[in-house]
Amino acid sequence: MAENHSISICIITKDESSLLKQCLERLKPHAQCGGHEILVVDTGSRDDTIEMCKAYTESVYEFPWINDFSAARNFAAEHAVNDWILCIDSDEFITSWNEQDLQNRISKHEKAIGGFSLLCACGTKANRYDSNAKVYRLYNRKHFHFERPIHEQLEPFSPELGHPCFMLDIKADHFSYSGSPEELMAKSKRNIRLLKEEHRKNPHDPYLLFQLGQSYYMIEDFETALYYYDLGLAEDVDPRLDYINTMVVSYGYTLLNLKQFKKALDLEGVYDTFGNRADFVFLMGMIYLNNGFFEDAVAQFKKATTFDTAEVVGANSFRAWHNLGVIYECSGYKDKAIQYYKKCGDFAPSMERLRALTS
């Protein structure tokens, strides 16, 4: 019989009692089923977090906040019962968990990092969209630990081990970036402050530059976001990395937001490198659309729908179909526009256009 691997599910939190309670409610049945530990580290809450957590686990610890997420995560791992650690945030709600797959993967990948799928709600209520992400947070504490004070990453104790990864059949929803404009501003300012401290120490780290760009993009300071994206992409980067692909796409949308439409066309020069992903292809459709190149835009939106996956939900389906509908409607092809709007299901902008065209 195969060995059962118990894991410690570690959460660091502060003043998020309501969200954390929902997180723990989703986690508890999976932890009980697999015989896994739930461990919570509180970094200075002033609400009822600590007392609330005790209803779900005996493993509740306090750690003074020192502006370092890695330090808090490593503290949690040090106090865990098990060597295998899975980090979950208090604003992440498990939606599916395959225990057998988890056990099989751990048995085959002792010296690798496990990832799971995270559906992120982004933007404000008026401009909300969902984004798919892969986060790598399952690891054996004998071989890995967290580094970087913010946007922390797992690193091996022995550099020769590298960063081998595998994906788990686990899915979760994430709600950190779907708050009010005030909440998003506060979170971004905190992140920017910590990232700038790190940037002063490592001015040529493309990952830090990417995260600074993302933080400024989130608060719609597009000029500053562009500055950091330019710096990041000027470094020697590996285009195979997910975050580099995301940075290129974010750079393109930043130019569109700044109405630098002609400059955005320069991304044609990297099409061969990044055109194997739906999000980049969809972006090129938007760039052509904003430059009035409608035939090229149609070709890109149609191509985007041929991909099985996309980071932004709908970039390979309803968002592309909607833009095709818009182009055909503006070009006088009403029937074609209706055809594409109907493909978009309950996507609100498409439903609005359908009502206008069929009433």
* DSSP category for residue 175: -
Fold of 7-174: Spore Coat Polysaccharide Biosynthesis Protein SpsA; Chain A (3.90.550)
Residues 39 and 10: their CA atoms lie apart, in Å, by: 5
What's this model's pTM, rounded to 2 decimal places?
0.89
From the list 252, 253, 312, the residue with the least C-alpha distance to 277 is: 312
Residues spanned by CATH 3.90.550.10 within the chain?
7-174
* Residue intervals in the chain for CATH 1.25.40.10: 181-358
Would you state the pLDDT for residue 186? 82
CB within 8 Å of 193: residues ≥ 6 apart: none
- Residue 345 CA to residue 112 CA, distance in Å, equals 40
What pLDDT is stored for residue 184 in this prediction?
Answer: 74
What pLDDT score does 209 carry?
97
Rounded Cα–Cα distance for residues 211 and 140 (Å): 26
* Sheet of strand 113-122: strand arrangement: 59-62, 37-42, 7-13, 84-87, 129-140, 113-122, 165-174, 92-97
Please choose, from the candidates 81, 75, 83, the residue with its C-alpha nearest in 3D space to the C-alpha of residue 106: 83
DSSP string, 310-347: -SBTTTTTHHHHHHHHHHHHHTT-HHHHHHHHHHTTT-
pLDDT digits (tens), the chain, 359 positions: 357 899 999 999 999 999 999 999 999 999 999 999 999 999 999 999 999 999 999 999 999 999 999 999 999 999 999 999 999 999 999 999 999 999 999 999 989 999 999 999 876 555 678 899 999 999 999 999 999 999 999 999 999 999 999 999 999 999 765 556 777 788 888 899 999 999 999 999 999 999 999 999 988 999 999 999 999 999 999 999 999 999 999 999 999 999 999 999 999 999 999 999 999 999 999 999 999 999 999 999 999 999 999 999 999 999 999 999 999 999 999 999 999 999 999 999 999 999 999 98
In 123-164, the DSSP E strands lie at 129-140, 144-147, 153-156
Q: Using the CB atoms, write b or e for 197-227: b if 16+ within 10 Å.
A: ebbeeeeeebbbbbbbbbbbbbbeebebbbb
- Class level of CATH domain 181-358: mainly alpha
CA torsion sign, 191 to 194 to 196 to 199? Answer: negative
Centroid of chain to Cα 84: 23
> pLDDT tens across 133-177, in order?
999 999 999 999 999 999 999 999 999 999 999 999 999 999 765
